Amino acid sequence: MAPAPSALAGVGAGRAPRVELADIVRAHGAAYQRAHPLCRAQRRALRAIAVCRTAALGGHRAVCTTCGAERITYNSCRNRHCPKCQRVATERWLAARRGEVLPIPYFHVVFTLPHALNPLAQSHPHLIYRLLFQAAASTLTRFGRDPRHLGGDLGVTAVLHTWGQTLTQHVHVHCVVTGGALARDGTRWIPARPTFLFPVRALAKVFRGRYLAGLQRAFARGDLHLTGGLAPLAEPAAFAAWLAALRQAAWVVYCKPPFAGPEHVLAYLGRYTHRVALSNDRLVDLADGRVRFRWRDYADGDRVKLMELDLDEFLRRFLLHVVPDGFVRIRHFGLLANRRRAAALAQCRTLLAPPPPPAVLPESARDLILRVTGLDLERCPRCPQGVLRRLDVLPPAPEPWDSS
């Protein structure tokens, strides 16, 4: 059914959501799964969201030492597509990154795939997403090493997103790129110009060429299984013609102005790294078999509007953005590649001569959740003085989730 957007200025700002994604999945996810073929990762995501923080995952019971009040806490699913499980995961990831940010400008570069590749992304997500990371990283590396630009090695953190504001398929990768490079011999830091990294049109052409070359190699190896609506492309001549059309199209690469400083880099990463396709605070309601949620229309002055979808279409769009099991959505390249990160960053700091980063003490799970959510796991919810002491562990209860 066609969506029905409408303008909505300042809708529901600051109010708790009327419905959560878990409510929708628990009520309708099993029926959707029975009616539609889903991959293993999609089935696992639906099940995890349905049982998250319920008795089905078990938990523990605690009692206040002062007033005797009892609190039962259920375990989280920790699935990366569950909106309730990502905030703490984000904070833990950022804590590990704080010591890696250099005192330099950082640029934000976005590489986007044409929507003509969406059918392939649905049938071959692992391949299409992997090629996106490889083409974006190799393009940035080439420009960074080119002496006409910087002549050294960049650091890149790349985050895969597959959605647009209305949950449609919009495959792109956000890259946070160092505003400068380490010379190939490691003897000096080469700063980028203050407000300019690389020419985006040139980036887009190289990115397009590298991506399509990778797609051609995958076809030649037999890695593409073109069936259903893609069956006409199984013939080499048809596939070559399709690639030629993609080669003629303009691909979109966008480079934003540099961040104001290291803390702004971390703030940005915190918004993007563990984001799911739809957060609970964007959901408005579920009524009469239709879901309404907020979205921001960037083409209309960033106005906040309402999107209304029937349940099947809503779940179909949400499940488009479940990535394959084991696929890594956050990757590091160049100076930040895992195999060389520690030594490269140490060399960069020596050349930049900044003050040493402050020591970061390990944060307990209790302190992390208190800082992020304001919830003290050990404080009695009834009286202000009491401390909760764990009495026993609750085993998982029978699941209400039925996908048979």
Q: Which residue has the higher pLDDT, 370 or 189?
A: 189
User: Cα–Cα distance between 241 and 165 in angstroms, integer?
Assistant: 32
Sheet (strand 152-153) strand order: 152-153, 180-183, 189-191
The DSSP bridge partners found for residue 24 are none
The pLDDT value given to residue 388: 72
- Position 59 pLDDT exceeds 70: yes
- pTM confidence score: 0.84
The pLDDT value given to residue 122: 95
**Nearest Cα residue to 258 out of 77, 50, 103, 41:** 103
pLDDT confidence tier of residue 14, bands split at 50, 70 and 90: very low
The length of the chain in residues reads: 404
The pLDDT value given to residue 101: 86
Flag the least confident range among 68-82, 130-144, 174-188, 366-380: 366-380
**In the chain, what percentage of residues exceed pLDDT 90?**
62
What is the pLDDT averaged over residues 172-201? 93
The pLDDT value given to residue 401: 62
- Position 144 pLDDT exceeds 50: yes
